[in-house]
Amino acid sequence: MSSLANAVSFDANTMWVDFVDGRKLGVPLAYFPRLLNAQAAQREQYEISGGGSGLHWDQLDEDISVENLLLGIGDRTRNQLLAA
């Protein structure tokens, strides 16, 4: 994958992902309920994993694939729960 994240920031309703190639992607926090319901300080405690291919929040037990963000795929946990 050529699109690698190098930073994450937030505003009231959006997660912003900065990419090494200079692009910036805005994703509604509503796509990720754990982030939406987290306190601002918790959102800021992220790690970029896989050399930029993933985003991880240890305290929130949230892992996000950068590739899935680019494909418009949000939290898949709800789909897994519905299938069970």
Choice between 83 and 37, residue whose per-residue pLDDT is larger = 37
What pLDDT is stored for residue 79 in this prediction?
Answer: 47
| Residue-averaged pLDDT of the chain | 89
Residue type, 68: N
Name the token pair of 46. Answer: 């992220």
Superfamily of domain 5-83: Uncharacterised protein PF10387, DUF2442 (3.30.2020.40)
Task: Locate the domains of the chain by residue range.
Answer: 5-83
Strands 24-28 and 47-49: unpaired
pTM of the model: 0.85
Name the token pair of 24. Answer: 């910036």
Per-residue pLDDT for 76 more than 80?
Answer: no
pLDDT single digits (tens) 24-61: 999 999 999 999 999 999 999 999 999 999 999 999 99
